[in-house]
Each structure stands twice: as structure tokens, then as C-alpha cells.
Copies of this chain bind each other. A is one copy, B any other.
Amino acid sequence: MTSTDPTSRPSVRPTRQRRAVAAALAGFDDFRSAQEIHDLISQQGESVGLATVYRTLATLADAGEVDMLRNEDGEAIWRSCSDTHHHHLVCRTCGATVEVEGPAVERWTSAIASEHGYGDISHTLEIFGTCPACR
């Protein structure tokens, strides 16, 4: 985390644990908590410490390879994602998730922001509902 020298690489090593987390992430497409992902890894026969799962997920999130958001209880939930900016339509019951894009919304948020003189903008936007299957 403290690589001050610009020439040095963070050097993320391909360990068994990180591979296991990646494999687990590939096994579902809804959002899951770190605990659930940890359990899934166990079910897949691997053994990875919970702390390591957290660390790996955080790293992947920084790298933009997984999305992390919070459910209504404030718990962090994760899932692998595409590398373009997008938002989510999540089923409140089964977790089924759809990635959605909204150029109009993106435009709206930056317009609102500059209109009020705010800079360095970021935003969060999630849509929750009940999917067709759960109705």
C-alpha cells in the first residue's frame, strides 16, 4: 500500500487464495457478502481465511474488477463486473442483478454538480425492486 516510488509495481502475486476468490466470484452474478463468498470458497473445497477474502475483495474493487455496494443494512456486498461505468438493478428478494447504463443520468449528475459549483464529482445510484421471477 506504500509504494512511493513510481517505478515500482505493487506486484500482486497469483496465490492459491486469490485464485480461489476469483473462482468463487466467477460462480455467481448477483451481489454477495464477504461471508457468503467465504462460505462458497469452502464449498468449493478450498480453504481461505476470511480476512484474506476481505483483503482480496478490497484489492479487486480498487482495481475496478468487482463492484462493491451496500445493502440496506449497510453490509458490503460484491460481484464481478464489467470494466465500464454502470449501475445496478437489483432484486430485493433473490439478488438477481442487471447492469444498466444511463448516459442521461451521467449527464444529469454532472450538470447538477457544476450548476452548484461542485467539482471532482462521483456518484452512487442503485435501483432495487422485485424481479420477474420473484413476483
Binding site for B on A (CB under 8 A): 70, 74-76, 89, 91-92, 98, 100, 102, 104-105, 108-109, 112-113, 116-132, 135
Contact = CB atoms under 8 A, between A and B. Distances in A.
A62 B104 CA distance: 31
Given A74-B70, A89-B113, A128 B121 contact: yes
Contact of A122 (B98, B120, B129): B129
Contacts of A118: 89, 91, 98, 127, 129-132
Contacts of A130: 118-120
25 contacts: A70-B70, A70-B74, A74-B74, A74-B76, A89-B112, A91-B118, A92-B120, A98-B116, A100-B116, A104-B104, A105-B105, A109-B127, A113-B129, A116-B131, A117-B132, A118-B127, A118-B129, A119-B130, A120-B129, A121-B129, A123-B125, A123-B127, A124-B126, A124-B128, A125-B125
